């Protein structure tokens, strides 16, 4: 279902920008909307990658890799990626055992979406610092045709719903049902890389790129089996990162410990809840199940990371059409201004 990109690239003055969009009763503190130059320099088919803050960075650090997010450019004005806003918090008494809203943690919104540059700039810079923001593309070989084909398939062939907050549009993609952002994909990518499904129709940024590549050009990115040591390091880094950010009032879950006094460590509960969600898909509990996954060698990690999609950090022969492509810095420096929201 093709869209007219120019028709919905709404350009307005910064002062008229809406302050929030579609979060409803979540209570998330993430910034949804913002403005920037009308276009970036990543051409259609480019794989854009970044290294940001938050729990995903903790996991990526634990496995010894770098990029935390990947995006597929649909041209100078629009892009496709999978993302989620940080979940809101429960009320008392649930707050004191599972402080984060389990449904929002499990079924991350917006999931796989297409957004304009105002929204992309806000997503990238409005919710924490980014260490780098780059794109890779191979315009000099036949590989560029495949890279373009993936972007064009996402834009022209995937069913979508148009969502808006009263002023600004974005497109929510689906795969027969809503595509959630699912943290468990970092543990097991399931059938996604060969065009299939996951247990809750979920993807993350890198697995959605692999899914799109298979659907568009028929070649698969092979998942990587991480070692027991990497699994232990990643889960420990996730737990410690969430707890420390919460205790410090910083980062992705910074507001969790601020509002209600409980007779236990609320930040420990939040860290357990996130660790359970990513390691075994159990997002509504703060029990010790995550430790079983961490310590038992029968629980493997089969995943596609952002670096694997990019062919970095020793990931060779991955099957990704972007691996080995030339690398450039992303910039927004075109005339004009565009505003938008990513949720």
* pLDDT tens figures, 92-106: 777 778 889 999 999
Q: What is the pLDDT of residue 25?
A: 65
Backbone angles phi, psi at 290, to 5 degrees: -65, -30
- Segment among 14-23, 74-83, 106-115, 136-145 with least mean pLDDT: 14-23
Q: pLDDT band for 3, please (50, 70, 90 cuts).
A: low
C-alpha 295/C-alpha 282 separation (Å) is 17
C-alpha 326/C-alpha 43 separation (Å) is 12
Q: From the CB of residue 16, how many other CB atoms can be counted at a distance below 10 Å? A: 9
Q: What is the pLDDT of residue 235?
A: 98
Burial 332-342 (b: 16+ CB within 10 A, else e): bebeebbbbbb
Quick check: 197 pLDDT over 70? yes
* Structure tokens given for 316: 């060779």
Average pLDDT of the residues in 118-132:
92
Q: What is the pLDDT of residue 90?
A: 82
Nearest to 6 by CA among 328, 332, 336: 336
First to last CA, the chain: 21
Quick check: 4 pLDDT over 50? no
Q: What is the pLDDT of residue 245?
A: 85
C-alpha 51/C-alpha 67 separation (Å) is 5
Q: What is the pLDDT of residue 303?
A: 98
* pLDDT tens figures, 286-322: 999 999 999 999 999 999 999 999 999 999 999 999 9
Backbone angles phi, psi at 84, to 5 degrees: -150, 145
Task: Locate the DSSP E strands across 99-223.
Answer: 110-116, 133-137, 160-164, 169-173, 180-181, 202-203
Angle between helices 228-248 and 266-280 (to 10 degrees): 150
User: How far, rounded to the nearest angstrom, does the alpha carbon of residue 224 sit from its chain's CA centroid?
Assistant: 19
Average pLDDT of the residues in 56-77:
97
Q: Which residues contact 251 (CB under 8 A, 6 or more apart)?
A: 53, 54, 128, 241, 245
* pLDDT tens figures, 209-252: 999 999 999 999 999 999 999 999 999 999 999 998 888 775 55
């Amino acid at each position: 279902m093709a869209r007219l990109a120019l028709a919905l690239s709404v350009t307005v003055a910064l002062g008229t920008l809406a302050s929030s969009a579609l979060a409803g009763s979540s209570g998330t503190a993430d910034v949804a909307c913002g403005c920037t130059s009308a276009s970036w320099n990543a051409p259609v088919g480019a794989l854009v990658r970044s290294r940001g803050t938050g729990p995903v960075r903790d996991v990526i650090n634990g496995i010894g890799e770098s990029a935390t997010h990947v995006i597929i450019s649909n041209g100078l004005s629009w892009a496709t990626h999978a993302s989620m806003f940080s979940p809101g918090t429960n009320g008392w008494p649930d707050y004191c055992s599972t402080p984060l809203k389990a449904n929002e943690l499990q079924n991350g919104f917006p999931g796989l979406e297409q957004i304009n540059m105002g929204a992309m700039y806000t997503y990238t810079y409005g919710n924490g610092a980014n260490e780098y923001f780059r794109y890779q593309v191979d315009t000099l070989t036949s590989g560029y045709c495949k890279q373009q084909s993936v972007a064009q398939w996402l834009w022209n062939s995937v069913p979508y719903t148009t969502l808006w907050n009263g002023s600004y549009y974005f497109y929510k993609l689906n795969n027969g049902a809503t595509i959630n952002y699912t943290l468990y994909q970092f543990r097991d990518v399931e059938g996604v890389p060969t065009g299939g499904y996951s247990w809750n129709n979920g993807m993350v940024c890198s697995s959605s790129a692999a899914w799109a590549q298979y659907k568009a050009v028929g070649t698969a990115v092979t998942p990587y089996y991480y070692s027991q040591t990497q699994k232990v390091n990643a889960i420990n880094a996730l737990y410690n990162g969430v707890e420390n950010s919460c205790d410090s009032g910083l980062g992705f879950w910074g507001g969790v410990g601020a509002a209600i006094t409980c007779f236990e460590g609320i930040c420990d509960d939040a860290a357990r809840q996130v660790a359970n969600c990513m390691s075994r898909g159990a997002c509504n509990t703060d029990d010790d199940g995550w430790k079983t996954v961490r310590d038992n060698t029968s629980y493997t990690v089969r995943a596609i990371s952002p670096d694997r999609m990019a062919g970095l950090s020793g990931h060779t022969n991955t099957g990704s059409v972007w691996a080995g492509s030339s690398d450039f810095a992303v910039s927004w420096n075109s005339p004009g201004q565009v505003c938008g929201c990513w949720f």
